[in-house]
Chain A
Amino acid sequence: MLNDFFVRAMLGGIGVALAAGPLGCFIVWRRMAYFGDTMAHAALLGVVLGILLQLPLSIGILGVSMAGAVILVLLERQRTMPTDTLLGILSHSSLSLGLVAVAFMSWVRLDLMALLFGDILAVGRGDLLVIWGGSLFVLVVLAAIWRPLLAGTVNADLARAEGVPAGAARLAFMLLIAMVIAIAMKIVGVLLITSLLIIPAATARRFSGSPEAMAGLAALAGVAAVALGLFGSLEFDTPSGPSIVVAALTIFVVTMALPSRASGQ
């Protein structure tokens, strides 16, 4: 069954969506959408670095995304510039740096479109192993840091005053984002990763009465988007990454018509 490229694509997409949904909830709650985008863009530099150092691509991406997260945290502490300005600078300059670097490396054949928008139909058995291993790891760590991360999301001072390690949880969370970016790159590409984190979470909000329910629903919404997007891509012969994002958007818009759980209204 795994011999079928479509089945592999489906399994890979589902694996990413399962981790991206719950993690994306925290990105929405903490208003870090732009942060996720910046780290995803930096991932392109990671690809370049991976090729230059002859490392597996996901290791290069993971390394550069993590380094990007740490640099951001350090720059934020300096308070020399507002965070959104800082993110704007890093986001687009790292993407451009990556594109320029790719252009310089004329000796390697790189499918730029695949890097930017994903190449889910080329997911191999090895990729599946990386995706599912990474995805499970992310979910296990997220479950372990759930309480301190949530407490720090509501109010970092309150968490720290009552002895909850919110700072450590925040750092771990950023590294998890780097990890999801590394495993999701093959599926949707650097430009679209944030949508897989945010749209399912936003879809889940209206039907959730608790943070935990929202995380679960976001994972489901992500899986549905992957399935719908891939079938659509097969049916209409459209690029798979953007098709998944369009499917996620469609689910978001359609569920707007359903009655919400009326939480927070």
Chain B
Amino acid sequence: MLPTNQTQPARAAGPLVRASGLGVERGGRFIVRDIDLTVSEGEVVTLLGPNGGGKTTTLRAILQIVKPTLGTVERRPGLRVGYVPQRLAIDWTLPLSVKRLMTLTGSQPRERIEAALAETGVAHLVDRPVQALSGGEFQRVLIARAILNRPQLLVLDEPVQGVDFAGEIALYELIGTIRDKLGCGILLVSHDLHLVMARTDRVICINTHVCCAGAPRDVARDPAYTALFGPRAAEVVAVYRHEHDHVHDEAHGPLHDHGGH
């Protein structure tokens, strides 16, 4: 970013959202601090880092769910946000169909609901109770719900959780398609390395602070990245640096169960 950008008021051409020197304190310690990041239209930015490293807290501050203790979050005025939270569990006692879930934060015409569900490939589920969906179906419904309002900024927290590997690839492809279609900025949280790296414009590694940031191939060479995820992680990313458009099964094998860390 050019330093001159910061002296100007938010323009249509500026980033959708900009966090500067962001810090969130809870219980006397900083969960995250000194976070700088921007998301612009048409850009996929991924927050990467170990569990407990403050990725979700960073998202919550950017979404203005928590107030930052330090620093600022500037959003383009009137910014439309779509959000897919982490681990959304809907209580069994709440009778909720997919269709009703879609109108949770605002009413929508039926055609629009069906169009959004069709875009994520789950139009046939419109009348199902949400508790009857599989993990992958539920994530697709949640993404459809988040894009209903044509968001300028789409925020996804661990969108592939509880989804099998084939489903993960399909979901990341879907996220890419949505970016292309809507032209929205996408802010993604993951502790998954392999697929995310291939489909991201910018990676920001967070472990309480920003360890390293940049294009995936640069970040993968960064010693801070290796320190965070181990030398194996860099090897796996190297596969993607060759710009393969197919998936090597042997490449993701050893890494696949790192999610339990």
Residues on A lying within 8 angstroms of B by beta carbon are 28-29, 31, 79, 147, 150-151, 153-155, 157-164, 202, 205, 208-211, 213-214, 261, 263-265
Contact = CB atoms under 8 A, between A and B. Distances in A.
A154 B95 contact: no
A154 B90 contact: yes
Given A154-B104, A161-B65, A265-B132, A28 B81 contact: no
B82 A162 contact: yes
Nearest to A30: B91
B38 interface: no
Contacts of B81: 161-163
Contacts of A28: 93
11 contacts: A150-B104, A153-B94, A157-B83, A158-B83, A160-B64, A161-B155, A162-B106, A205-B93, A261-B95, A263-B129, A264-B130
Nearest to A204: B95
B95 A208 contact: yes
Contacts of B53: none
B83 A162 contact: yes
A157 B95 contact: no
B200 interface: no
Contacts of B92: 264
A209 B132 CA distance: 13
Q: Interface on chain B toward A: helix, strand, loop, or mixed SS?
A: loop
Interface residues of B, number: 29
A211 B155 contact: no
B104 A157 contact: no
A210 B100 contact: yes
A199 to B, nearest CB: 13
A173 B85 CA distance: 24
Nearest to B149: A162
Contact of A210 (B63, B65, B97, B131): B97
B105 A158 contact: yes
A162 B91 CA distance: 21
Contacts of B93: 28-29, 202, 205
Nearest to A156: B65
B192 to A, nearest CB: 21
B247 to A, nearest CB: 31
Nearest to B127: A209
Nearest to B79: A163
Contacts of A150: 104
B63 A31 contact: no
Which 4 pairs from chain A and chain B are nearest by CB? Answer: A264-B131, A161-B83, A161-B63, A208-B95
Interface in B146-203: 149, 155
A147 B106 CA distance: 8
Contacts of A147: 104-106
A209 B83 contact: no
Contacts of A158: 83, 85, 88, 104-105
A264 B95 contact: yes
A79 B27 CA distance: 9
A220 B173 CA distance: 48
B132 A210 contact: no
Given A161-B63, A210-B100, A263-B129, A155 B85 contact: yes
B50 to A, nearest CB: 21
Interface in B38-94: 60, 63-65, 81-83, 85, 88, 90-94
A264 B97 CA distance: 9
Interface in B84-134: 85, 88, 90-97, 100-101, 104-106, 129-132
A252 B151 CA distance: 44
A96 B76 CA distance: 54
Contact of B95 (A151, A155, A214): A214
Nearest to B60: A157
B226 to A, nearest CB: 33
B95 A205 contact: yes
Contacts of A264: 92, 95, 129-132
